[in-house]
Amino acid sequence: MIAEAISDSMNLPYSDCILEKTGQVQSKSMPKDKKEISGTIIQLKPAKRKCNILLIDDLYSTDETASECVNVLKKDILIDKVFYFSIAKTK
């Protein structure tokens, strides 16, 4: 995985079980005026110490999922900054 390779090369911790999508709705298939995924992503593990997060995604199609992930992580008082990196963007 790309995220693991980045983690190894930067000598930073890696985890793929921090967030979980609870709903089956894919925002890219929803009409623009109906996109509301608030509450469909939850944080499984709280931060144990003050930290920054690099969130890596394979595909960026809308900002709905990325924004919801960042919003969920920013609620954790130990998470200072959240950076988002996507490998590809759809048209």
Asked whether 68 and 38 are in contact (CB, 8 A), the reply is yes
pLDDT digits (tens, 9 = 90+) for 4-44: 999 999 999 999 889 998 877 655 555 555 456 788 899 99
Exposure string for 14-37, b = 16+ CB within 10 A, e = fewer: eeeebbeeeeeeebeeeeeeebeb
Predicted TM-score of the model (pTM): 0.76
Strands (E), the chain: 19-21, 41-43, 51-60, 79-89
Please state the domain extents for the chain.
2-21+39-89
